[in-house]
Structure 1
Amino acid sequence: MASTISALLASAVLLAAAVYFRRDADSFDAGSVAVRTHLHLYMHDEYTGPNPTAALIVPGMAPLPNATGSTSSRRFGDIAVMNNALTEGPQRGSPRVGTAQGFTVRVAERGSVNALSLHLVMEAGEHAGSSLVVNSRVDTDLAVRESVIVGGTGQFRFARGYALSRSYDYDLAKGGVVEIDVYLY
């Protein structure tokens, strides 16, 4: 009798889990989540010049040498803020589509790993007035960095997805251009 009750209880739990985790068939493409929106943007990160858009606010502790014995200009505990232009193309004169606003905290004692909190605020085009929230651990030593989209506003309310970023033309001392692909599902 007890084994029958256990079997029925286990079946009920499995059925409830199947109903809870059920996905709409249209949201899948060959076993992977279908992308509903793809944004291709360029972020202009300027540390120097007459109008910097990113700044080191809190300097961290003295840099530690990495495995090769060299040190970085970035330090464990550095906190930087940004208010960077988002454009359609990598050129400075490319049409502006929004602003990337947020901060990073250097969280690795060695290496280039940051905790990132970023809002991609869309100011032009079909998504004007909407924003996306990006939160992630970013290893800037990697050629392609993946971040998670954890929400948004306006047309992007309850957004989920990921962003892939790569340095397009970047100098660690001055800043530069970062190419960003956002995939929402």
Structure 2
Amino acid sequence: MVSWTIAGSLTVVPAAEHPELLADPVAKALAALHDPELVGVTAIDPDLADTAAFCETYGSPLDASANCVVVAGKRAGEERFAACLVLATTRADVNGVVRKRLDVRKASFAPMDTAVELTGMAYGGITPLGLPADWPILVDAAVAAAPELVIGSGIRAGKILIPGSVLASLPNAEVVEGLGR
């Protein structure tokens, strides 16, 4: 089992052994990973799932948290989606880097109900594991380089602890310099 230095006051258990702390698509994606033993999960108060409240309450460093946002744009009537994973201390460059990658005129955060419906995950818990197979997952270079991170588990009552290298190796993942600003 991995020793997590960013866990603060949390008890981390192997994610593969605790699917009840994961949304269904996340549990399925975890089972398909080459190295699921590198992924931990912890139970949290769902009212504290938002990054700032989570870090303050549980003593996990803000710079070791990564947020996953769903971005949408249209081109020739076709709606295109991508997931962006950036450190919690940065914001995704939606109208620069992401817009160009999606090849759309304008990109914006997907509406909450759309993001929830398309991912099968809870808002505030959306994570890059288990996203629709045709979506690009844009991973900021700082996220990919992080030795350990806290991310959502697909539900608000859990958090995943994972190395950035595992996120960078997900299917459809692209490491992007300058995604987080």
Q: Same fold (TM over 0.5)?
A: no
- The answer to which structure, 1 or 2, has the higher relative contact order (CA under 8 A, 6+ apart) is 2
With the length of structure 2 as denominator, give the TM-score of the two structures: 0.24
TM-score (norm. length: structure 1): 0.23
- Normalized per residue, the structure richer in helix is 2
More strand by share: 1
